[in-house]
Amino acid sequence: MTADLKRGLADLEARGRLRQLAPRVGLDFSSNDYLGLAESPELAAAVGEALARGVPVGAGGSRLLRGNHTEHETLEREAAAFFGSEAALYFATGFAANYAIFSTLPQRDDIVVYDELIHASAHDGMRNGRAASVGVRHNDAGAFEEAIVSWRAAGGRGRPWLVVESVYSMDGDRAPIDDLVGIARRHDGMLVIDEAHATGVLGPDGRGLGAAYEGAGDVISLHTCGKALGASGALVCGPRAVCDFLVNRGRAFVFSTAPSPLSAAAVRASLRICRDEPQRRRKHADLVSHATREFAQCCGIACSGSHILPVVIGEDRRAVEIALRLQSHGFDVRAVRPPTVPEGTARLRIAITLNVGADDVSRLARVVGQALTTYGEGR
């Protein structure tokens, strides 16, 4: 077997797609720590305070056994109040939360209509769920409606589920949420909004781009806690019946060791920071605007308008070569290749976080512009 695995690895290397773990080196332009909270004294203090009052490091079991802690339940109450949902359920990871949603909630006669660029975790959940699924063109609200109408015409009897990311992880563009809410309601559907890359930085108090619809009976949102919130885990927010059903039937919840209660304490602190310190989001928004101007000037790139700036190179090896050049200049920028992104769209994924300053962004834009000239233009 190991010989087969080695051949598979050699094939990936030959195609410029071999992945390897690499340390954190250089200025942070690759993490999702958008507000710079992950290593902040505020979260460190929150965890220290939790330890001092006896909150354990480990949960010791699943939530349905002895792993349920008052810190988990307090976080869920505070998160539901913060985001405006009827209930919230805390998962160990965003992957587990997405997997649980799509493998558990859509039923046999339903259909899941998803944007073609949604997270891999949603795809894995759908593959292990009971409902049919169909992908549609990226950010094309009309394509969602067309798919539902065609399904109904062919005899579809259940409920349609519409699935989008509010901000897409590799492109940085935004979903047409208002249009999709209208489509879901016209067809008695459910809308699932993955707010992973919006939570903490976009929407009122950082509540995401779908904040206006939180609390509605036909909307479920996923707020990951390991990106702008600087901690770990994920919160599924929606109707109480949804959370209760996941507690009973969501295998990724039922059979998983509960998240660390200390992580729950850290997320609680992050939500308070989002509520009480709007200046962080303003500072971040100013830095994103600066990056947009600098990359347009130095690289001729029309940016996404968000804190995720994709520089599409195309060919896998060229993307890796440019990333290595940027790293040699002290910038932690990584190459993203298929299957994470579509074939022929290998790219640099540049993330703007408060771990860097305006001067750092300007220097990076100049180096990227020089690298594109050397190795061939991005697109």
> 157-185 pLDDT, tens per residue?
999 999 999 999 999 999 999 999 999 99
Give me the pLDDT at residue 374, please: 84
Tell whether the model's pLDDT for residue 300 goes beyond 90.
no
Tell whether the model's pLDDT for residue 305 goes beyond 90.
no
Domain boundary pick from 276, 297, 314: 276
Give me the pLDDT at residue 376, please: 61
Confidence of residue 379 (pLDDT cuts 50, 70, 90): very low
Domain boundary pick from 276, 296, 311: 276
Give me the pLDDT at residue 301, please: 83
Q: Do 127 and 244 belong to one domain?
A: yes
Confidence of residue 221 (pLDDT cuts 50, 70, 90): very high
Give me the pLDDT at residue 3, please: 86
Tell whether the model's pLDDT for residue 378 goes beyond 60.
no
Number of domains observed in the structure of the chain = 2
State phi, psi for 314 to the nearest 5 degrees. 110, -75
pLDDT in tens, 32-60: 999 999 999 999 999 999 999 999 999 99
Q: Among 152-166, 220-234, 338-352, 363-377, whose mean pLDDT is lowest?
A: 363-377
Residues in the chain, total = 379
User: The domain containing residue 300 runs over which residues?
Assistant: 278-379
Q: Do 302 and 345 belong to one domain?
A: yes
Q: Do 292 and 230 belong to one domain?
A: no
Confidence of residue 6 (pLDDT cuts 50, 70, 90): confident
pLDDT in tens, 310-344: 999 999 999 999 999 999 999 999 999 999 999 99
Mean pLDDT of 1-11: 88
Mean pLDDT of 20-38: 92
pLDDT in tens, 105-137: 999 999 999 999 999 999 999 999 999 999 999
Q: Do 155 and 286 belong to one domain?
A: no
Q: Do 134 and 258 belong to one domain?
A: yes
CATH number at residue 341: 3.90.1150.10
Q: Do 258 and 284 belong to one domain?
A: no
Domain boundary pick from 227, 257, 276: 276
Rounded to the nearest integer, the mean pLDDT of the chain is 95
Give me the pLDDT at residue 89, please: 98
Q: Which of 249, 216, 258, 302 is nearest to 105 (CA)?
A: 249
Mean pLDDT of 212-240: 98
Q: Do 192 and 318 belong to one domain?
A: no
Q: Do 108 and 213 belong to one domain?
A: yes
Confidence of residue 25 (pLDDT cuts 50, 70, 90): confident
Q: Do 107 and 180 belong to one domain?
A: yes
Q: How would you write the chain as a 3-class SS string?
A: CHHHHHHHHHHHHHCCCCCCCCCCCCEECCCCCCCCCCCCHHHHHHHHHHHHCCCCCCCCCEHHHHHCCHHHHHHHHHHHHHHCCCEEEEECCHHHHHHHHHHHCCCCCCEEEEECCCCHHHHHHHHCCCCEEEEECCCCHHHHHHHHHHHHHCCCCCCEEEEEECECCCCCCECCHHHHHHHHHHCCCEEEEECCCCCCCCCHHHCCCCHHHCCCCCEEEEEECCCCCCCCCEEEEECHHHHHHHHHHCHHHHCCECCCHHHHHHHHHHHHHHHHCHHHHHHHHHHHHHHHHHHHHHHCCCCCCCCEEEEEEECHHHHHHHHHHHHHCCEECCEECCCCCCCCCEEEEEECCCCCCHHHHHHHHHHHHHHHHHHCCCC
Q: Do 215 and 310 belong to one domain?
A: no
Tell whether the model's pLDDT for residue 152 goes beyond 50.
yes
Q: Among 15-19, 142-146, 217-221, whose mean pLDDT is lowest?
A: 15-19
Q: Do 287 and 268 belong to one domain?
A: no
CATH number at residue 183: 3.40.640.10
